[in-house]
Amino acid sequence: MFALLETPGWIGNYPLPAIVAGLVLLVFGADLLVRGAVWIALVIGMSRMAVGLTLVAMGTSMPELMVSLTAANSGHSAIAMANVIGSNTANVLLIVGCAAAIRAIHLKVRKLELAYMLVATALAGVPFLVAGGVSRGLSGAMVGMLVVFCWQLLRRERTQVEHPGHDHPKSSLKGWLLHVLALGSGLAMLAYGADWLVGGAVTVASSLGMSEAVIGMTIVAIGTSLPELATSAVAARKGQPEIAIGNVVGSNIFNVGAVLGIAGLLEPFPVDREGLWRLMAVTALSALALAFVLRAKAGVPRLIGILFLLAYGGFLAVEVMLSKG
């Protein structure tokens, strides 16, 4: 069995500080990981487009990976699944909504990324239709989907000419030492942050009488989506729609292919279909809505961004009320 960190005993006595500390470590850990990975990727010659859709998306998905591995390994499978599909919903409705509300997004997104986002969403929905959990076979299909996506994306990038304005940082011993250290530190912070967040969330869920599924789709999902939120909000403010949208679409693909896929390969786990079917439905509808808007409007208008935010707030309010009822 795959094991991460032993949950410290203090979390049971101080769950709220554990959640806050876990969220802080997740955000800063993901930032360090992304900074280190992007610098290394650019130095070895990858284009910024490829970096945004792969390494940045993968780095901002590391909190979801660590949290889901920790939750599945400790027997809290509802949090593991709710974290992934809840994060994918938050990526579209909360993060794209915030980014578009800050500044309308004008961007032509290619069919490759959107097609794989929809395929990933469909794979996440399989346990709700034909299976009772995330098996190793399904997990293998998720990981395979991710590998093929990365291969097709990088092959496409190699055939394109880099624009002159896309400068790359210069390689140096100091740069390598600093960014490798950032990578290692980021991974360590993510591991501890995930452990503390899951432990605190489980304690809060039991004390409030709320289900693990609701805690997973609210506190945990939003918490692990904070790196994507920060990245896309800053990108929107700076007028960089490729980063804002590429980060979200790539993260949704990585959340299924890497997070659910790796978690299921290491430790298959059941899925609470009764508690999570509404969330899965909203996840699928939000992915379809984003793909349609991006293709039909060549971006995301500010009004649609605001509607995304209202829809997300309304959905969470309903879920919390149903849970209390």
- Tokens linked to 34: 């992304």
Distance of alpha carbon 146 from the chain centroid: 14
> What was the pLDDT predicted at 138?
94
Q: Nearest Cα to 216, choosing from 231, 233, 204?
A: 204
pLDDT score at 118: 96
Q: Read off the tokens for 214.
A: 């609701």
Q: What is the per-residue pLDDT for 165?
A: 46
pLDDT at 204: 81
Tokens of 254: 């990585």
Architecture of the domain defined by 48-158+209-324: Up-down Bundle (1.20)
Residue length of the chain: 325
Q: Beta-carbon neighbour count of residue 133 at 10 Å?
A: 15
Distance in angstroms (rounded) separating the CA atoms of residues 191 and 175: 24
Residues 136, 144: Cα–Cα separation, whole Å:
12
What are the two backbone dihedrals, phi and then psi, of residue 299, each rounded to the nearest 5 degrees?
A: 145, -165
The position carrying tokens 């490729």 is 242
Characterise 36 by phi-psi region: left (phi > 0), alpha (psi -120 to 50), beta (else): alpha
Output DSSP code: residue 74.
Answer: T
- SS3 string of 120-151? HHHHHHHHHHCCCEECHHHHHHHHHHHHHHHH
Contact, 211 vs 205, CB < 8 A?
yes
Can you give the pLDDT at residue 139? 93
Q: Nearest-CA neighbor of 87 among 253, 237, 205?
A: 253
How far is Cα 206 from Cα 203, in angstroms, rounded to an integer? 5
User: Domain locations in the chain?
Assistant: 48-158+209-324
Place of tokens 């039991």: 206
**How far apart, in whole angstroms, are the C-alpha atoms of residue 21 and residue 15?**
10
77-112: b (≥16 Cβ within 10 Å) or e: bbbbbbbbbbbbbbbbbbbbbbbbbbbbbeeebeee
Instruction: List, as own/partner pairs, every contact residues 293-298 make where C-beta atoms lie below 8 angstroms and the sequence separation is at least 24, other chains included.
Output: 294/107, 294/109, 294/114, 294/245, 295/109, 295/114, 298/106, 298/107, 298/108
CA 186, chain centre distance (Å): 16
pLDDT of residue 71: 78
Which residues are paired to 299 by β-bridges?
106
What parts of the chain have a pLDDT lower than 70?
A: 1-8, 46-53, 56, 60, 131, 159-168, 231, 324-325
Q: Cα separation of 318 and 260, whole Å? A: 26
Tens digits of residue pLDDT in 44-76: 776 666 666 677 677 767 777 777 777 777 777
Per the CB < 8 A criterion, the answer to whether 77 and 272 are in contact is yes
